[in-house]
Amino acid sequence: QAKARGGGRYAFFDVELRERVQRHMVLEQDLRHAVRQDQLWVAYQPVVDLRTDRAVAVEGLLRWTHPLHGVVSPGEFIPLAEESDLINSIGAHMLHTATRRIAAERPWLDLKLNANLSPRQLEDPDLQGIVQGALAESGLPARALCLEITESAIMQDPAAAARVLHSLRELGVCLAIDDFGTGHSSLAQLRRLPLDILKIDRSFVTDLADSDELRIIVGSIITMAHALGLTVAAEGIETEEQLAALRDLGCDQGQGYHLGGPVADGMPTGR
Ligand code: C2E
Ligand code: MG
Ligand code: MG
Ligand code: MG
């Protein structure tokens, strides 16, 4: 009896697992067509200079309008793309689309483009060529492109990441470490990387206004980053209190719903 129940339990989990795997495979198939069928698009979120209140850059954030499921977030489909090797073609498509768009705005707006690179893209031996290709095709100057790499991606293989970052730096692009504070890197490791911007992860900003402890932690991250010659940006600013706290701590740039969310059309013109 107990054995039969046990069997049933396993059978139940098997069905769940099978459904999950099937959904996964279907979505992966769909993603394969998404680039060709033009279902991927880029939303742009302003990055604001906290001293002048002006947008100095926009971060390009990938979106997928699925014919059945509607807009799928990158948190869902980027991991799928990473597993299936689609990330390299999707990443290249994203770079071409976004650099073209920002190059077209630049005669009027002095904006930089921030674009995210995934861990798998860092492993692509053609990455430097892909970035160079997007710059050449769009006419966007290299200094107007900032590539964001997460701290955890760098920490997967710091030596390899350092080589890739140096190869990108040769192109003249700016480099940012994204989601800082979540990836266990050390000062000594950061010092050896050719970085320009450090983006403090949203999780540090959320409770900033009500926690003296967090204020001290974020304050020391900013001091440390400045000592390394880095510009500091904070992610996920949702309230005036968080914004004021970050200004007090000397944070250089900010991004978040309070300053402007990601939008499909239109570019920030300052506040
Ligand atoms: P990220 O690079 O850290 O981007 C910031 C994320 O925070 C974005 O989510 C943005 O919409 C969201 N966000 C901005 N302001 C706020 C705020 O005030 N509050 C909250 N709660 N969230 C805020 P999104 O667009 O869903 O992107 C999630 C992640 O997906 C990105 O995190 C990035 O790691 C990845 N991603 C997005 N586009 C691309 C891409 O083109 N290539 C790669 N490889 N990854 C991408
Ligand atoms: Mg980012
Ligand atoms: Mg981030
Ligand atoms: Mg983040």
The average confidence (pLDDT) of the chain is 91
Task: List, for residues 191-249, the tens digit of each pLDDT value.
Answer: 889 999 999 999 999 999 889 999 999 999 999 999 999 999 999 999 999 999 999 99
pTM, rounded to two decimals: 0.92
Mean pLDDT on 250-270: 88
Task: Give dist(CA 106, CA 122) in Å, integer.
Answer: 28
Going from the Cα of 211 to the center of ligand 2, the distance in angstroms, rounded, reads: 25
Going from the Cα of 7 to the center of ligand 4, the distance in angstroms, rounded, reads: 42
First to last CA, the chain: 70
Q: How many CB atoms lie within 10 A of CB 66?
A: 15
Which residues, other chains included, contact 241 with Cβ-Cβ below 8 Å and sequence gap of 6+?
208, 209
Q: Are 87 and 81 in contact (CB under 8 A)?
A: yes
Q: Ligand 1: which of 113, 175, 235 to mutate, most ligand atoms within 8 Å of CB?
A: 235
Specify the 3-state DSSP secondary structure of 56: strand
Res. 62 pLDDT band, cuts 50 70 90: very high
Q: Are 242 and 209 in contact (CB under 8 A)?
A: yes
Say yes or no: CB of residue 238 within 6 Å of ligand 1.
Answer: yes
Task: Give dist(CA 219, CA 215) in Å, integer.
Answer: 6
Task: Give dist(CA 253, CA 76) in Å, integer.
Answer: 27
Q: Are 169 and 203 in contact (CB under 8 A)?
A: no
Say yes or no: CB of residue 203 within 6 Å of ligand 1.
Answer: no
Single-letter amino acid, residue 214: L
Q: Are 134 and 101 in contact (CB under 8 A)?
A: no
Residue 57 burial class via C-beta count within 10 angstroms: exposed 0-12, middle 13-18, buried 19 and up? buried
Going from the Cα of 130 to the center of ligand 3, the distance in angstroms, rounded, reads: 22
Specify the 3-state DSSP secondary structure of 123: helix
Say yes or no: CB of residue 47 within 6 Å of ligand 1.
Answer: no
Query: In the 8-state DSSP scheme, what is residue 235?
Result: -
Task: Give dist(CA 46, CA 166) in Å, integer.
Answer: 27
Task: Give dist(CA 23, CA 217) in Å, integer.
Answer: 42
Task: Give dist(CA 199, CA 258) in Å, integer.
Answer: 17
Going from the Cα of 210 to the center of ligand 2, the distance in angstroms, rounded, reads: 25
Q: Are 63 and 34 in contact (CB under 8 A)?
A: no
Say yes or no: CB of residue 62 within 6 Å of ligand 1.
Answer: yes
The pLDDT > 90 percentage for the chain reads 74
Structure tokens at 13: 């989990």
Whether 127 has a pLDDT exceeding 50, the answer reads yes
The residue whose CA is least distant from atom 42 of ligand 1 is 116
Structure tokens at 247: 């200004």
ipTM over 0.90: yes
Task: List, for residues 159-204, the tens digit of each pLDDT value.
Answer: 999 999 999 999 999 999 999 998 888 777 888 899 999 999 999 9
Nearest-atom number in ligand 1 for the CA of 150 is 34
pLDDT score of 271: 43
Q: Are 159 and 123 in contact (CB under 8 A)?
A: no
Say yes or no: CB of residue 46 within 6 Å of ligand 1.
Answer: no
Q: How far is CA 58 from CA 155, 178, 203, in A?
A: 26, 14, 21
Q: Ligand 1: which of 99, 116, 150 to mutate, most ligand atoms within 8 Å of CB?
A: 116
pLDDT score of 11: 61
Which residues, other chains included, contact 37 with Cβ-Cβ below 8 Å and sequence gap of 6+?
none
Going from the Cα of 179 to the center of ligand 3, the distance in angstroms, rounded, reads: 4
pLDDT score of 3: 45
Q: Are 204 and 218 in contact (CB under 8 A)?
A: yes
